[in-house]
Amino acid sequence: MLPTIATLKSALRHEVRRRLENLTPEQRDVASRRLCARLQQQPVWLNARAVLGFAPTAGEPDIWPLLQAALAEGRTVALPRFAPDRDAYEAAVVRDLSRDLVVARFGIREPSCACRTLAVSEVDLILVPGVAFDLRGHRLGRGKGYYDRLLTGARAVKCAVAFEEQIVEAVPVEPQDVRVDCIVTAERWVQIAVA
């Protein structure tokens, strides 16, 4: 009997999380700083006036300095905020990363209800978290499909932000899974070829 896609995804999540657990805090910090510096050199970053980022969790690259720099440069910065009435995430504009955020669903920092929403169509660049990515632009999330729904129909450049340990040979995919356009790690910039 062949394993289901759900089983393959679960196994891959476990494998990548094990890899990430082996990184020391110092290795994470160095990789995060190098990743941010690499992204800041890319035209997709340089040309983006509105950026949808994310509040990194312990297992994700620390992109906070990027978001602070974007705010200091006068760019529009938004983060995902859970909208319970729709059971979905929306983009909400932040002006101050220390004052505009609350700890919300899943223990993730997100914009408070006082922050205005921003249509995803108004965003130029989306920084996309995930558990794993492959070099064809496929993304493995946490398994609830929230980010795929947020990304669906977005015209913005979708840029995966990852540790090198999160890059895998192949991510099992389903029809609703949204691909990213590029990947940035501490070691490389990968522009995904159009299929």
Write the pLDDT tens digit of every residue in 94-120: 999 999 999 987 788 999 999 999 999
Q: Which of 108, 42, 101, 113 is nearest to 77 (CA)?
A: 101
pTM summary value: 0.94
The three-state secondary structure class of 119 is coil
Question: Within 13 Å and on the Cβ side, how many CA atoms surround 82?
Answer: 14
For residue range 52-72, what is the model confidence (pLDDT) as tens digits? 999 998 889 999 999 999 999
pLDDT given for residue 1 in this prediction: 60
pLDDT given for residue 70 in this prediction: 97
| Domains of the chain with CATH codes | 5-191 (3.40.50.10420)
